[in-house]
A and B are shown apart, each in its own frame.
Chain A
């Protein structure tokens, strides 16, 4: 047996599968955090390494040779991870007339009030106004936009990005992550929305790319402690309810909800504008006081009434909760109410599509109700 070492040279969470010639030659290690090293003991021979960046889902595949005379250390460094944080970012301008000839596509399309992409925050009194935080672009990464939240973000935490697609106008609620939000654009609109900071990006990206068994390791690393206090410590250290919600959903998906979500439920009551936290609160209520079916249904309805949905996985949690209430031992009237609530959530999902871990809505030009 010879040693093969994988080493992460950037911050992030990576899954490495090493596959050899025999059917059972499948070895998996996780690299979490910059400098993390994992060692495998393998027979000499030729293998393929498949590296997946759990933040973005980006994959890399390359051959590795295991040789007892040459202990190989494979350095894992995926794509833009470090480059993005060191690149030179500049303010996107307000007027089209000020655009330089070297303007990136993002700069051209986000500039002015009538560009293809429009960022607006929700007023406390209702209605929308222009986003007052920083909007940054970078010529080295012409597809990426960086959003920095304004200091007074808690007063108007709901940020909406409207954009045009070939199928019609669309919008997405943009999380204002602490440390900035990266929005990656595509020809059809938006390709991904992630925290700019790599640790947070690993948590949010893991909603789409991690396996159930990987959740605990990712959350423990991101929070720097146990999973029990993860949501609390993430929220308190970064003042970031979006990241807290993503961590809560990740723990919930990973089957870790029993001891970990009480704090997320408390957050929900203070951040009613985020439906995701409200739904995590409903889930917590369900497992903490399972007899309180009315309370659970009330929290689900309240989350929809008062909040906006940021993460795609929230819909799956709602489906599970309401399917349980509808097909369970509840009273007929509660089952009927749960049925109505499910229809409202399905109506909310009409035109919704997944953008990375986020959810966006497209408004079809000729919208038609199916039922």
Chain B
């Protein structure tokens, strides 16, 4: 639930900069009552005029899928986001599990969907670009019974061999976890970690220069930069995004007026930065950012500029000085480790 709401908030916030204007949103939430029901979600997303929220079960997934695809017109951009439980089936395909999975004894896996055919279908509906983000585990479960194979799960569009020659785009499909691995989420209804990284990337650091749109978030940057970004902004948890389809088209998702790069400053030994009295980022002689708080890791978003910046610390009298470091702020992120001046190369 936290992931879906955060993604929709992100899309609405960046509606003006999306390459295709934001036209409509379908949202399903698992157990909305647990988080205060529709009223609470409506409060967070006042622009949508939400009166009720459908459950993320098979019936509503199918209905929302039909309504969604029914609205798609040639040249549209379509985005599919899923945050929940996932597994891989016997052929290694990523499978999303809906709220009522195993609820029906004779069709236990009917409330699932296979991401690959879904993504493939989005390439055949006339869309200009299609984006699929799957924030769920790709866990291999030895206990999954054979019956998962007998079900195709929910199919939002039946594919035909005819469609293969009529693809309008090659969708981008990224999973938040690698094949066979788990995806992680923090407690307290915060978005899962991959979603946090994705939103950060979309907000302006997974960018490249493009002829048509200037600085823009593109499929290529999301595909290749999200992993690097995650290691700079998330502590302790390793986020390992993986492409689910081959992607070779160069499509843009959103324009970015003010691209930035998240910078994570550490020290070796770790305590040295914590003991510093101040940390600064300097643009020549001009102070850009500074902090006087104690940090083991200081994170700050720095605008992308075409010149070197310098990270430097001041330390208390008697403490060993940390050597300053220069860096060129380029996307998607920077990790800087300061060392004592005596040990600096």
Q: Which residues of A contact B (CB under 8 A)?
A: 19, 21-28, 210-213, 253, 255, 257-258, 283, 286-287, 290-291, 293, 296, 313, 316, 319-321, 323-329, 335, 339, 342-343, 346, 349, 370-371
Does B319 sit within 8 A of A, measured CB to CB? Answer: no
Q: Are A329 and B91 in contact (CB under 8 A)?
A: no
Given A19-B209, A324-B161, is A212 in contact with B120 using a C-beta cutoff of 8 Å?
Answer: no
Q: Are A324 and B209 in contact (CB under 8 A)?
A: no
Offer 11 A-B interface pairs, CB within 8 angstroms, sorted by A: A25-B209, A27-B211, A28-B211, A211-B249, A283-B164, A287-B162, A323-B116, A324-B117, A324-B120, A327-B152, A328-B159
Q: A24-B210, A28-B211 are in contact. List 15 more A-B contacts (CB 8 A).
A: A23-B209, A24-B211, A24-B213, A26-B210, A212-B248, A253-B248, A255-B167, A287-B162, A287-B165, A323-B114, A323-B120, A326-B152, A328-B161, A329-B158, A343-B91
Rounded to whole angstroms, the CA-CA distance of A221 and B97 in the bound complex is 48
Residues in B with CB closer than 8 Å to A316 are: 245-246
**6 nearest A-B residue pairs (beta carbon):** A23-B214, A287-B165, A290-B161, A327-B117, A286-B161, A290-B162
Q: Are B120 and A290 in contact (CB under 8 A)?
A: no
Does B323 sit within 8 A of A, measured CB to CB? Answer: no
Q: Are A328 and B160 in contact (CB under 8 A)?
A: yes
B151 to chain A, nearest CB (A): 10
Which of B152, B160, B210 has its CB near the most chain A CB atoms (within 10 A)? Answer: B160
Interface residues of B in 264-291 (CB under 8 A from A): none
What 0/1 readout, one digit per residue, does chain B (158-188) give for beta carbons within 8 Å of chain A?
Answer: 1111111101001000000000000000000
Q: Are A293 and B159 in contact (CB under 8 A)?
A: no
Rounded to whole angstroms, the CA-CA distance of A371 and B120 in the bound complex is 25
Q: Are B248 and A210 in contact (CB under 8 A)?
A: yes
Closest to A254 in B: B248
Q: Are A293 and B161 in contact (CB under 8 A)?
A: yes
Closest to B244 in A: A319
B219 to chain A, nearest CB (A): 11
Does B79 sit within 8 A of A, measured CB to CB? Answer: no
B179 to chain A, nearest CB (A): 10
Q: Which residues of B contact A (CB under 8 A)?
A: 90-93, 114, 116-117, 120-121, 140, 142, 149, 152, 155, 158-165, 167, 170, 209-215, 245-246, 248-250, 306
Residues in B with CB closer than 8 Å to A286 are: 161, 164-165
Closest to B144 in A: A371
Contact among B161, B170, B245 with A212 in the assembled complex (CB-CB below 8 Å) = B170
Residues in B with CB closer than 8 Å to A320 are: 120, 164
Rounded to whole angstroms, the CA-CA distance of A313 and B245 in the bound complex is 11
Closest to B248 in A: A212
Given A212-B248, A346-B91, is A323 in contact with B164 using a C-beta cutoff of 8 Å?
Answer: no
Closest to B149 in A: A339
Residues in A with CB closer than 8 Å to B246 are: 253, 313, 316
Residues in B with CB closer than 8 Å to A296 are: 161
Q: Are B90 and A371 in contact (CB under 8 A)?
A: yes
Q: Are A324 and B306 in contact (CB under 8 A)?
A: no
Q: Are B249 and A212 in contact (CB under 8 A)?
A: yes
Residues in A with CB closer than 8 Å to B245 are: 316
Closest to A46 in B: B306
Rounded to whole angstroms, the CA-CA distance of A343 and B91 in the bound complex is 5
Q: Are B158 and A327 in contact (CB under 8 A)?
A: yes
